[in-house]
Structure 1
Amino acid sequence: MQQPPKSKYVPALGFHWLTPYYDAVVGSTTRERIFKQALIKQARIEPGHQVLDLACGTGTLAIWIKQNQPQANVTGVDGDPVILSIASRKSQKANVSVKFDRALSYNLPYPEEHFDRVVSSLFFHHLSWEAKEQTAQELFRILKPGAELHVADWGRASNALMRGLFLFIQLLDGFKNTQDNVSGKLIELFEQAGFVQVSQRQTFSTIYGTLALYSAVKPS
């Protein structure tokens, strides 16, 4: 039985009362459509793929994946029941079939070697290093051999301006856990979990700092 890491659960935008504003804030401040569509393109999801959107939030990424590849089987998972209810309503309104589950990232309710792709956006920076490690290990467990992990999250600042802007995120979400991201430690994290071909694929400048897209492969 996996022991939960010592990591405080952080809701969307840091506070439960901000959850209803999540889509508006993310959409207007992070270049959401651009970086999430780039992540979808990077993941190269094929018909029949089993796809998991880790920490799916309000379901935007999961819905766009399903719209982009209707023959994929898309599941979103998140620990917040309020935000999952928003995601469910959004998918119904978009008339797409996405399954939404409630679970925490370090204890996922899926069998070993089940998914062809795991995607995640703006999640890992919320976690302590211990929780990041356990989450990466869980993702390695549930991915099939040869399957891929694709992550969009805050990364090493591309310049001094981006580093300064990222201080707002650190004030909101905590300096200790966000420092892993801005120090470029996500590549090390995924390599320690057993992934290969781990790389930072591209970056995007936003009003809150540098967003990075990562990819990793579970060995065949």
Structure 2
Amino acid sequence: MPNVRRARVPRLHLRGGLVSAKTETYVPALGLPALTRFYDLVVRLTLPEFEQKKRLADQALRELPAGARVLDLGSGTGTLTLLLKQRAPGADVAGLDGDPEVIAVARAKAQRAGFELDLRQGLSWEPPFEEGSFDRVVSSLFFHHLRTEDKRRTLAKAHDLLRPGGELHVLDWGEARSALTRLAFLPVQVLDGFGPTRDNVRGRLLPLFEEAGFASVEETGRRNTLFGTLSLYRAVRPGSASPCTGRFE
């Protein structure tokens, strides 16, 4: 187990995912603060993460209203946040994460690329943003770090942050539909916890989206990897989207 230090934020695991607000333990990305800067390299070597994030970004930015606001929930080192901004430069792109060290990495990454991002530190179920202020909420490999009660709270807040007609787009571990993919997912469960990952491997994310008030809930794609199945999801906050004058391509 990684070394743990006490802090006034919920526990963070591997990529800085919030696990529970009930404890005040905090575990940085990859377990130790000194390893945070190696996170992108480790993930790139073990998962087709960037390829899947490009698919997620393409899906989320489809028919994006002009002047839209986009939130990367659980933004980590900012790879997806920056990708969203690069693909929709006219959009206001924000990121939210509980780990100040990964936020610093994300901010430096954006500066090197010549972009300014609105990166905030905070809890996914207590976001420092106004309700109804986003057209898209996007999240990558974050929800499997949350216990069920915190998934529910986070999804309820994501729903409230969206304008009517706004969309939630999620890339995360999906249902294991064979003994082989179930076995492949075991290392992830050992590292990130059997409790938080149980909803993912049992295919419970879609019902949780619906429980939070989302409509048109669907799994839009799946890919089997060395460590299990990655799934793409889409859900919509019911209501009519505000009229817009243009689209981002």
TM range (shorter): over 0.9
SS in 1 for 2:22: coil
Higher percent of residues as helix: 1
SS in 1 for 2:182: helix
Residue among 146, 154, 157 paired with 2:165: 146
2:82 aligned with 1:63: yes
2:128 aligned with 1:109: yes
Quote how far apart the aligned CAs of 1:197 are: 0.6
Quote how far apart the aligned CAs of 1:112 are: 1.2
Q: 1:121-162 CA distances to partner (integer Å, 9 max, x unpaired)?
A: 000010111111100011111110000000000011243322
Q: Which shifted more, 57-66 or 159-168?
A: 159-168
Structure 2 distance, partners of 1:84, 1:104, is: 13
Quote how far apart the aligned CAs of 1:21 are: 1.7
Residue among 53, 73, 80 paired with 1:54: 73
SS in 1 for 2:106: helix
**8 Å contact 1:204–1:211 — kept in the other structure?**
yes
* Alpha-carbon RMSD: 1.6
Q: 1:13-53 CA distances to partner (integer Å, 9 max, x unpaired)?
A: 45544322210111122201211011011112343110000
Give the counterpart letter for 2:113 in structure 1. Answer: A
**8 Å contact 1:52–1:119 — kept in the other structure?**
yes
Q: How does 1:1-220 map to 2 (within 5 A)?
A: 5-6=21-22, 11-43=28-60, 44=62, 45-220=64-239
Specify whether residues 165 and 62 from structure 1 end up closer, same or farther in structure 2 by C-alpha distance, changes over 3 A only.
same
Quote how far apart the aligned CAs of 1:73 are: 0.6
TM-score w.r.t. length of structure 2: 0.83
Give identity over the alignment, percent.
Answer: 49
Runs of 5+ consecutive residues of structure 2 not aligned to the other structure? 1-19, 240-249
Q: Which shifted more, 8-17 or 201-210?
A: 8-17
Structure 2 distance, partners of 1:15, 1:203, is: 31
Specify whether residues 42 and 206 from structure 1 end up closer, same or farther in structure 2 by C-alpha distance, changes over 3 A only.
same
Structure 2 distance, partners of 1:201, 1:116, is: 19
SS in 1 for 2:132: coil
Specify whether residues 31 and 100 from structure 1 end up closer, same or farther in structure 2 by C-alpha distance, changes over 3 A only.
same
Q: 1:145-180 CA distances to partner (integer Å, 9 max, x unpaired)?
A: 000000000011243322111100000000011011
Structure 2 distance, partners of 1:17, 1:126, is: 21
Residues matched between the structures, number: 217
Structure 1 distance, partners of 2:21, 2:77, is: 25
Q: 1:72-100 CA distances to partner (integer Å, 9 max, x unpaired)?
A: 11001100000000000000001112110
Structure 2 distance, partners of 1:143, 1:54, is: 12
TM-score w.r.t. length of structure 1: 0.93
